[in-house]
Amino acid sequence: MATVCAYCRSNTNKLTREHIWPSCIIKRVPTYKARYSERANKVFSGDLTVADVCDQCNNGPLAHLDAYICKVYDRWFVQFPERGQWLDFDYD
């Protein structure tokens, strides 16, 4: 098992569990019930997590990234456009 944070590469901080999909996305898509793990070759009903980031990164920059992803989802993906509809997709 890796003991180095996948984000900051530190080996001095305790690794914590990180959702593969941000929990805010999971809450916004309630129909997403089953998750498949190719590695385990199983379908799970719970949220998939991985212990590969340290607590400082998980609760710091990665928490900010999760919040940003949810803002993008709320703005652009909560409702799909009609076929043929033109969209201006801006990002920062």
The pLDDT, as a whole number, for residue 18 is: 86
Could you tell me if residue 66 is inside a domain? yes
Q: Which letter, b or e, does each residue of 30-67 get, where b requires 16 or more Cβ atoms within 10 Å of its Cβ?
A: eeeeeeeeeeeeeeeeeeeeeebbbebbbeeebeeebe
Q: What is the mean pLDDT of each run of 10 residues along the chain (92 residues)?
A: 86 88 84 78 80 94 93 85 82 70
The pLDDT, as a whole number, for residue 65 is: 93
Angle formed at CA 4 by CA 63 and CA 52, multiple of 5 degrees: 45
Could you tell me if residue 1 is inside a domain? no
The pLDDT, as a whole number, for residue 15 is: 93
* Domain of residue 57, residue span: 17-77
Could you tell me if residue 8 is inside a domain? no
Could you tell me if residue 55 is inside a domain? yes
The pLDDT, as a whole number, for residue 57 is: 95
Domains: count for the chain: 1
